[in-house]
């Protein structure tokens, strides 16, 4: 095969007909495999799925498609002829979907798989990964659906917007999800093969995206967007580009720094950007200093969540594991990579999500000097992953706090979200002695607030029936302290609780 895959629109349309005729959907695959084998496949354990597709004759078209595209199995000509009556075997070969294997059999070059969200059922086209094929992946390998792309998709704020940009689209997984709530989509990539597969993915799903070639914001110079999303090639290294999907060709974390530096020029007023990023953490430094430096001159409000901090060996091993290189190549490349980390005094690499918003003109309290609101925090707990709903709520709560003065808060009736009170105690001479307590909102990323006796009582009293000032006065009288002094001490706690979604104003 020469050139790029799936250049014929007619072939893509025919492929779609055959895949859907066979029931090649998320539900169809799950039903064919059974719950246990399907769950195992989701964890990367493939052999139960192979066993399930070979029950009985194993000759039905859906079983053939599962083995071919999802399990990396060789299939014979008759099985493919049955599975692809519309596309035909010669077209599959000519369009770079499959290739000949030994013994007059055929294997897939491309990975075509169902992908579903709560509403839609998609088909996504990428390259077969190293686990499905022998040898290292190609320089222009197009990565498929993975943990990072899924986590970003779940974190995107899904408000209805006009223009959206998917920067570094790869196979197009983010653009697929954007189509449900964006009027227009521009998707960019430096890799011609990625753009070809993204175009085929769009067509296969009945969508149209404006696909453009180029690095960072070069393809959209002078344009602004309401939403920008990116899962860029953020891998921290010496600046080579062994694999386009992971290596930017820029040393260190320069790609992510440059992306954030240029974002303000491409966000519309009120626009939001969300991206995955990696950042260098050097010996004796706090990761917040580095990422905070990227943000300092942008004027953008920000929520940066570090989900993981990887030591050099773990980080390098993670990115070497998916390229399919042999042991000698792995050892050589890994050694060189760790040498560079040592020379740069890199103690680890932070990984996380950055959510940014360009504030609309005229927002904020009258006469107050504009200061970007930037929160950088580490949230690593299981079940505390950032979702689109939580990201939107976080930004909205921060806007509320900026625009609400203390007088308004004291006059407001506040409610408490569903929360748990957690206490920590140690055994002592008189039994268990409480040493600390906190209020936690389940499922909220970082939604925990340390409390003392007074703030516990204050939160318990926030039931939306009386103003905050009345609760403060009652507590002051009970504890025999000055009400104004207690209000001064309580307001920062109240603001923190609102920021964490633990308290909210009832209107």
Q: Rounded distance, CA 396 to CA 505, Å?
A: 12
Domain 406-505 has CATH 2.60.40: no
The residue to which tokens 């309580």 are assigned: 490
Reduced to 3 states (helix: H, G, I; strand: E, B; else coil), residue 7 is: coil
Domain 147-365+379-388 has CATH 3.30.310.50: no
Q: Rounded distance, CA 368 to CA 20, Å?
A: 58
Distances in Å between the alpha carbon of 434 and those of 453, 493, 499? 11, 21, 26
Domain positions in the chain are 9-108, 147-365+379-388, 406-505
Sheet holding 448-451, edge to edge: 420-428, 431-440, 448-451
Q: Look up the pTM and report it.
A: 0.94
User: For the chain, how many residues are written?
Assistant: 507
Q: Rounded distance, CA 371 to CA 24, Å?
A: 51
Short-list 101, 107, 145, CA closest to 126: 145
DSSP letter for each residue of 78-146: HHHHHH-TTT-HHHHHHTTSEEEETTTEEEESEEEEEEE-SS-EEEEEEE--TTTSSSPPPTT----S-
Render each residue's pLDDT in the chain as its tens digit; 507 residues: 348 999 999 999 999 999 999 999 999 999 999 999 999 998 889 999 999 999 865 579 999 999 999 999 999 999 999 999 999 999 999 999 999 999 989 999 999 999 998 888 999 999 999 888 888 899 999 999 999 999 999 999 999 999 999 999 999 999 999 999 999 999 999 999 999 999 999 999 999 999 999 999 999 999 999 999 999 999 999 999 999 999 999 999 999 999 999 999 999 999 999 999 999 999 999 999 999 999 999 999 999 999 999 999 999 999 998 888 888 999 999 999 999 999 999 999 999 999 999 999 766 555 566 799 999 999 999 999 999 999 999 999 999 999 999 999 999 999 999 999 999 999 988 899 989 999 999 989 999 999 999 999 999 999 999 999 999 999 999 999 999 999 999 999 999 999 999 999 999
Q: Rounded distance, CA 357 to CA 264, Å?
A: 9
Q: Rounded distance, CA 103 to CA 494, Å?
A: 72
């Amino acid at each position: 095969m020469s050139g790029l895959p799936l250049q014929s629109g007619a072939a893509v349309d025919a492929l779609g007909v055959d895949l859907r005729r066979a029931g090649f959907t998320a539900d169809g695959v799950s039903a064919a495999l059974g719950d246990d084998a399907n769950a195992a496949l989701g964890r990367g354990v493939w052999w139960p799925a192979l066993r399930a597709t070979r029950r009985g004759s194993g000759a039905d078209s859906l079983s053939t498609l599962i083995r071919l595209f999802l399990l990396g199995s060789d299939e014979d000509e008759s099985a493919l002829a049955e599975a692809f009556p519309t596309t035909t075997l010669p077209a599959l070969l000519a369009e770079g979907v499959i290739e000949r294997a030994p013994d007059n059999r055929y294997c897939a070059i491309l990975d075509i798989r169902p992908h579903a969200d709560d509403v839609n059922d998609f088909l996504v086209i990428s390259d077969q990964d190293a686990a499905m094929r022998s040898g290292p992946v190609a320089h222009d390998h197009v990565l498929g659906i993975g943990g990072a792309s899924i986590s970003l998709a779940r974190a995107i704020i899904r408000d209805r917007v006009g223009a959206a940009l998917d920067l570094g689209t790869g196979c197009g997984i983010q653009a697929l999800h954007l189509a449900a709530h964006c009027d227009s989509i521009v998707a960019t990539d430096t890799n011609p093969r990625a753009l070809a597969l993204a175009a085929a993915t769009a067509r296969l799903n009945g969508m149209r995206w404006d696909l453009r070639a180029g690095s960072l914001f070069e393809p959209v110079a002078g344009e602004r967007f309401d939403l920008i999303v990116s899962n860029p090639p953020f891998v921290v290294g010496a600046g080579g580009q062994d694999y386009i999907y992971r290596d930017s060709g820029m040393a260190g974390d320069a790609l992510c720094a440059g992306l954030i530096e240029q974002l303000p020029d491409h966000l519309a007023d009120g626009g939001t950007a969300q991206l995955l990023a990696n950042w260098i953490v050097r010996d004796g430094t706090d990761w917040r200093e580095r990422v905070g430096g990227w943000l300092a001159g942008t004027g953008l409000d920000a929520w940066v969540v570090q989900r993981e901090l990887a030591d050099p060996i773990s980080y390098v091993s993670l990115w070497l594991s998916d390229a399919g290189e042999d042991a000698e190549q792995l050892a050589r490349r890994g050694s060189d990579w760790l040498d560079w980390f040592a020379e740069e005094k890199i103690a680890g690499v932070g990984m996380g999500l950055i959510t940014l918003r360009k504030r609309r003109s005229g927002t904020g309290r009258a006469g107050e000097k504009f200061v970007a609101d930037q929160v950088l925090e580490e949230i690593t707990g299981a079940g505390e992953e950032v979702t689109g709903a939580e990201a939107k709520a976080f930004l909205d709560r921060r806007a509320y706090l900026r625009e609400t003065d203390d007088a308004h808060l004291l006059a407001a009736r506040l409610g408490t979200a569903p929360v748990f009170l957690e206490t920590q105690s140690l055994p002592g001479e008189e039994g268990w002695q409480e040493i600390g307590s906190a209020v936690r909102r389940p499922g909220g990323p970082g939604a925990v607030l340390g409390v003392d006796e007074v703030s516990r009582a204050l939160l318990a009293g926030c039931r939306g029936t009386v103003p905050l000032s009345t609760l403060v006065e009652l507590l002051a009288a009970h504890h025999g302290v000055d009400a104004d002094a207690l209000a001064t001490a309580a307001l920062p706690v109240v603001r923190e609780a609102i920021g964490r979604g633990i308290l909210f104003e009832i209107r």
